[in-house]
Structure formats: C-alpha cells, structure tokens
Structure 1
Amino acid sequence: MDTAIPEPEQQPTRPKLLAALGPGLITGASDDDPSGIATYSQVGAQFGYGLTWTLLLSYPLMSAIQEISARIGRVTGYGIAGNLRRHYPRWLSTSVVSLLMLANVINLGADLGAMGAALKLLISGPVLLYVCLFGLLSIALEVFTRYARYVSVLKWLCLSLFAYVICAFVVKVPWQVVGWATIWPPLSTKPDYIVAIVAVMGTTISPYLFFWQAEQEVDDQRERRGAHPLTHAPWQAKAEFSRIRIDTYLGMALSNVIAFFIVVTTAATLHAHGITNIQTSAQAAEALRAVAGPFTFGIFAAGIIGTGMLTVPVLAGSAAYAVGELLSWRVGLARLPLRAKAFYGVIATATLIGVGLNFTAIDPVKALYWSAVLNGIVAVPVMGVMMHLSMRASIMRGFTLPLLLRVLGWLATAMMAATVVAMAVTVFA
C-alpha cells in the first residue's frame, strides 16, 4: 500500500525557466532527427509550402500527448511500459513494446546512416566507418557519462537545430506565400499527399518520444533531492505540473518551428528549382549545395550530425526503458552501468543493430522515409493505451487528466488513427 510523504513546512516554488527545461526540451529537440529532416525535406521539395499547415495543426496535439506522457511518469514513478506491466494484460504490454522496438531499431539504422552520409559530404571518406564511429560514440556517452552531465550535453546539442533557422534566412523565401499556404492549404486526396501527411504526423508524434519523456520524468524525480512520485507526495503536484507544462510546450514549439523552417528552406530552393524527389537528409543537403550555395549546404549537413547525436541516444534509451520496465529490470540513465547491466546492454544492442542495418541489403532510402510512416502506425495503439491509463483513478489517484488534456489527447489519437486509415485506403485500394 502506498504511503504519502509528510508535507514539509515550505512547499517548492515554481522553477525558473532555464531550470524548468529538461525532459520536454530534449524530447522536442530529438523529434527533429535525421529521419524527420529527410521527411520534412521531401515534403518541402515535393509539395512546396503545401504541407506547412500540418506543423501548425500538430503542435497542440503533440504537446498534449507529451504532457500526458510526462504526467504518467511523474505521478506514478513508473514509465509507460512499467505501468502497462503493472496494470494491463501481459500480451498488451509485450505487443506495444515489441512494436516500439521494431520502429526504434529501424529509426536508429536510418539516422546513423544519414549521419555517416552527412559527414562524408563535409569531409569525404567512408560512410560505414563514420556510421560505426557515431554508434560507438553514442553508446559510450550514454553508458559512461554521469547522468547530470549527460543531460547537460543533450541540452547543448539542442542548439544544433538552429542551423535550419539560419538556412531559411540565407535563402530567398516568399513569406507572404508561405503564410497563405499555411492558413489556406491546397488540400489533395492523392495517395502521395496522404502518405506525406502520415509521415509528417508519424515524425512529429512518435511513440519513442512518449516512452522517453515519461522515463526522464522518473529519472529526474529519482535524482532531485526531496522529489517523490505524486501519488506519494501530492503536495508537489502544483509546482511539478507547472514545470512539466512549460518544459513540454516550449520543447514541442522548438520541434515544430525547426520542422517548419526545414520545409520552408527546401520548398524555397529545391521545389522552386524543380527538384522534387528527396529521399534522405544527406541528399537534401547535397541538392542544396547546387541551388543555395556551399554555406547553406554546410549548415544543413552539420545540423544533420548534431541532431543525430541528440536523437540516437533517445531512440536507444527509450527502447531500453521499455524493455527493462517490461521485464522488471533496474532501469535509468542515472544508474551506474554495473547496477543496470541489462538496461545498458539493450542500449548498446539496439544501437549496434542500427549500425548493422547499414551493412545489409536493406535500402536506407526506403527505411528512412518509411520509418516515419511506421512510427505513425505504431503511435495509434500506444496513444490509446496511454489515454486509458491516464484516466484511471486507480492508477493516477487524484491526478487523472483535466478535461482539456482529455479532449486534446483523444483528438490526437483519433487524428493519428484517421491518417493511418486514409493512407491504407489510398495506397492499397
């Protein structure tokens, strides 16, 4: 039976902005991974400014679902997989975690391949060697770096995203046309258009982000002195929910603003010059060299590497958290490697499998784009389970979702389901 922690005489005050930024900021920034950059580049090259509206639409929905993820972790002291194991049938938790693992490993392979290709564009050399080096560097940082230092490194890597803002202001962009296309888009029912919407939604609303942010809240609570799961210390709720909301909504805003600038940059350059078939982020960078100059190319390519170094650990970490909680292991980046050997073993294994995919006959071009589509499909059952879980009083105690989050959460789930059904109908009909 849970025992509440005695309420202290002085309750915590709301944190300052910089102190509040953490799990939500890193989650939002990692959303713009090389796979996402490829998706946004393809969307901009193929449809011009015709799909910028999707980033405006997805913002409140992705923010709500990420806030719900964070609340689950902070309230219960367990991540999503841990709550599934404790409160739902084994077949359900195993199915969800298996789908997550499949999507994450494909994403890891695609992202590592994109990083290797981007570095080759900048300095030439063997792509596969760079893929191996990036994979090993990511494993070393995640396993052997102290948690507080590692989180600080991830926060600084968020700055690499601003490379894409710089690109948009280096090239000539008709901002009035962009604004009009965003608020009054040229909608279409063509299969390519529907698949592109699913890919964008699957990139912005991704299952690995749900698991990562919930678990980072758990790790953060374990590391902060005096912090406890809200089911044990309900007096901390007001300050914690305020911090989560600030952190999450700013992190998701960063994610979508950067994605918007990537679409705008590629639309203003590649689409405007008749280049409409971009299937990898490295290919987008290479194409920019010809139409926008070496400066824009260099910034774009360097951004791919920076965002990859931010995202690869998140993908591997979210997989390890999910598997570890499902199997009742000790999990957490705050734990020493020898205290959580199986957890860190999954991180290393998932990353190495991602590296290995680049040595197979699997087409990395198709893997890169379709990993985003797969994320969109996997997100639907995960989101449905999360919504049900977060409204159960027996799990969340007095912290079930308020009405607005319920509405936005179910709306996001329904939207993801509708886009996946629409894709299936248009592609397989």
Structure 2
Amino acid sequence: MNNSKKIKNKMVRFWKILGPGLVTGASDDDPSGIATYSQSGAAYGLSTLWTSIIAFPLMAAIQQMCARIGIVTSHGLTGVLKENYPRPVLYIMLLFSFPAIVMNIGADIAGMGAVGNLLFPSIDGTYFSVLFTLILLGLIIYLPYQKIAITLKYLCIVLLVYFIVPFLYKQDLSQILKATLIPTIQFNKEFMGILVGILGTTISPYLFFWQASMEVEEQNKKHLIVNKRIIHEINEDVDFGMSFSGFVMYFIILTTGTVLYNNGMHQINTVEQAALALKPLAGNLAYLLFAIGIIGTGLIAIPVLSGSLSYIITETFGWEQGLDKKFHEAKAFYVIIAISLLLGLSLNYIGISPIQALIYTAILYGLTAPVLIAIILHISNNKKVMGRFTNSKTSNILGFASLIIMSAAAVTLIYLQLAD
C-alpha cells in the first residue's frame, strides 16, 4: 500500500512539473508537421525513421537552453536579443519569423478544416476553418493564462492516438528496427528537401521563443526563485515534452511508411489525404484516430504559433505582453494574435495552396534555425547574461551538433537546388 502511494505521489509530482516543455513538444507535432512526416513516410517508406532518434537529443538541448534563458533572465528570447545584440539581428529575425509563422498557422487551420470536412462531409471545410479560428481566438483572449496552460496540457493527451495507429496494421519488426538504427540518406533535392523539412518542422524557431516566454510566465505565476532544483525540473519537463514529440513523429512516419508506402501510395499532399488513405488500408479506427489527432494537435499548436509571434513583436517594440494579462492590459499583444490568426485563415482564400505553404514554412524554418541556434548558444554561454547557469559541456556538444547538422542539411539543399 505504501509503495502504491509512493508511486502515485511521484506520478502526481511529475505531472505537476510538466508544463511549458510538454506543451512545446506537443505543439511541435502540429498538422503541418504531421503532413511533413506523412509525406516522408509515403514517399520514402521507413527511410527517414532514424531522424526521430537523431532529432530528440538535439531539440531537447536547444529547448533546455531557451527555457534556462527565460527563467534566468526573466525575459523572452526576443527581450534578451534586444538587450545584448545589435538591432539589425533582431529585425532580420523578425523579418524571417513573421511570414513563416503566419504560413504555418494558415496550413494548420486549412488542415484542421479539411479534416473536419472528412468527419462531417456535409459541411464544407472552409466553415470548419473559420469555426476553429474563432474558437481559438475567443479562448486565447478570454481565458486567463493558468486555464490556457492547463487546457493545452490536457490536450496533449490527444497525441496518444498516434501510438495506437501503427499497431492496427501488420508490421515487420526487423525492417523497422533496421530503419530506426541505420540512417539512410539520398543525395537528391527531393530527399534533401524532405530532410530539411523534417528538421525544420522538428527544431522550429517559433518553439525557441515560446519556450523562453512561457518560462517567464511560469516564473511570474509561481514566483519561482532560480536554483538548481528549478533548473532540474525545467529540464525534466523539456526532456519529457521533446521525447513525447519524438515518439509521435516516429509513429506517424512508421504508419505512413508501412501502410501507404507498401501499398503504392507515394504522393501525399495534405493531412486529410493521409487520413483518408488509411481508411481502406488500415481500417476505420485508424482513419478516425489519425483525423482526431490532427484537430487536437492544431488546437495545441495554433495558440503556440500565434502566441510566439506576438511575444516576438511586442518584446521587439517594448509593448505590454503576456497571456497572464487581460485584453485591456495588453491590447497590442492580443491584437497581434488576432491578426496572425486572420492572416493565416486568409491564405485559404487567396490561392496559396496549404501544402505549398507547409513545405515553404518547413524549409524556411530549416534554413533560418541555424542562425538562431548559433545566437542561443552564444547567449547560453555568456556569463554576463546567464551568471552561473551557463551551458554544461554536454549541452554545448548537443547544441553545436544541432548547428552543424541543420547547417549542413540547409547548405546541401541550396546546392542541389542551384545545381539542378
């Protein structure tokens, strides 16, 4: 009895620790990310399965740095950049971030709308897109930060559906193990485009800004005093969130890489196509779970996307910001969130294909992430900024590995595009 109580207490304590790291990890598997992983599996089978194993320690290391920057400095990443770097660096970062995040929001809204239409065919997908946009806008503006954080945290449970889907179809375990442990790379622009897209949608710049800003929100709410215990708990939260994200990514590639690829379906352009393709091959349950997961991840990711963009802009110009503020206390912050959602929604009506927006977003993230990773590494090793909480040797090794891998993939893609 005592042992069961101890286990229960440990689980309750661990659940309480989970917060920004878990939500950040879950939002990483948004509808556009799911589409990228689905395309990868459909086009190349299990050839990219290994990327989820490589990506985990890299993304965890970078997100830990961002979390530590936020909790130690009591500023978001943009605020730290503003105080410690030349203004042109800040404006270039803003220039690259704005279109990529808005396109990401647009692709996610379109994906959710299309899947809503799959579940309820009598209702056009555009109506679902508008409905989801209005619901999210209302919740973000009217719910206090604490309720938003709790809602997002529990929504993460939806992603568990992707752990079930692959097992509804017969799998070859030896082939899966081989693809997981032995990296496969094809040096052509199509494969490198997918690889950069996977890295870009996994190690996404908007997550860097969200993680740091959310740690500041948590610090303000709980009045945390930074010490080794707090840093350890933050690292646990980030590690769990990123491992959760990595598992979801792994199982989506596994599902599409076996079910779709093995049945000759090598071209998946949208998330709803991936869901629909599973129906005759893996059954109605697989189709339904995959579709529900897409809507759930969109509900997690879009507040993170719009919120991170708003933090970037308001911190850049010194405006009042924070999800813990009411609308009248931080009007600019919430207006930017509303504008980003409406701009994202409008992409569906001006002829920009959601899949094009999705691909361009992932690749743009993949190309810009190395610059931000380099800046994050510099900040994390700056004793004037971080005091005694600078990077450990392990963090630096993983951080520089992220920088090298992301840069190499981006440079290879650019070379192949120019050589074509």
TM class by shorter chain equals: over 0.9
Deviations 1:224-274 (A, max 9, x none): 1x324xxxxxxx321111111100001000001011000001111100100
The offset of 1:122, in angstroms, is: 0.5
* CA-CA distance at 1:202 after TM superposition: 0.5
In the other structure, the counterpart of 1:273 is 263
Is the Cα contact below 8 Å between 1:270 and 1:288 reproduced in 2? yes
| Secondary structure class of the residue paired with 1:16 | helix
Q: How far apart, CA to CA, are the structure 2 residues paired with 1:73 and 1:128?
A: 38
Q: Using the alignment, how far apart are the partners of 2:370 and 2:128 within structure 1?
A: 34
The one of 104, 114, 117 equivalent to 2:114 is 117
Aligned to 2:412: 422
The answer as to 2:98 corresponding to 1:108 is no
SS of match in other structure, 2:227: helix
1:302 aligns with 2:321: no
> Which residue identity lines up with residue 29 of structure 1 in the other structure?
A
Q: Which runs of 4+ in 1 moved over 2 A?
A: none
For residues 107 and 267 of structure 1, what CA distance do their matches in structure 2 show? 24
Counterpart mapping for 1:14-413 below 5 A = 16-124=13-121, 125-224=123-222, 226-228=223-225, 236-413=226-403
In the alignment, is the contact (CA less than 8 A) between 1:219 and 1:332 conserved in 2?
yes
Please say which of residues 283-292 and 33-42 is displaced more in the overlay.
283-292
Q: Is the 8 A contact 1:209 1:318 kept in 2?
A: yes
Give the Å deviation of 1:391.
1.3
Identity of aligned residues (%): 39
What is the one-letter code of the residue matched to 1:160? V
Give, in angstroms, the shift of residue 320 of structure 1: 0.3
TM-score, normalised relative to structure 1:
0.93
Q: What is the letter of the counterpart of residue 258 of structure 1? A: V
Offset of residue 98 of structure 1: 2.1
> By how many angstroms is 1:16 displaced?
2.4
CA distance in 2, matches of 1:216, 1:149: 14
The residue matched to 2:266 in structure 1 has which SS? Answer: coil
Amino acid at match of 1:69: C
More helix by share: 2
CA shift for structure 1 position 187: 2.7
Distance across 2 between alignment mates of 1:306 and 1:329 = 31
Superimposed CA distance per residue, residues 308-356 of structure 1 (whole angstroms, 9 cap, x where no aligned partner): 0000000000000011111111111011111111011111110110011
The answer to whether the 8 A contact 1:173-1:264 is kept is no
TM-score, normalization by structure 2: 0.95
Whole-Å separation in 2 of the counterparts to 1:201 and 1:26: 19
Question: What is the CA–CA distance in structure 1 between the aligned matches of 2:188 and 2:177, rounded to whole Å?
Answer: 23
Deviations 1:382-409 (A, max 9, x none): 1111111121111112222111111211
Residue 270 of structure 1 aligns to a residue whose secondary structure is helix
Unaligned 5+ runs, structure 1: 1-14, 229-235
Q: How many residues align structurally? A: 407
Checking the alignment, whether the CA contact within 8 Å between 1:173 and 1:265 is kept in structure 2 is no
Q: In structure 2, what residue type is equivalent to 1:200?
A: I
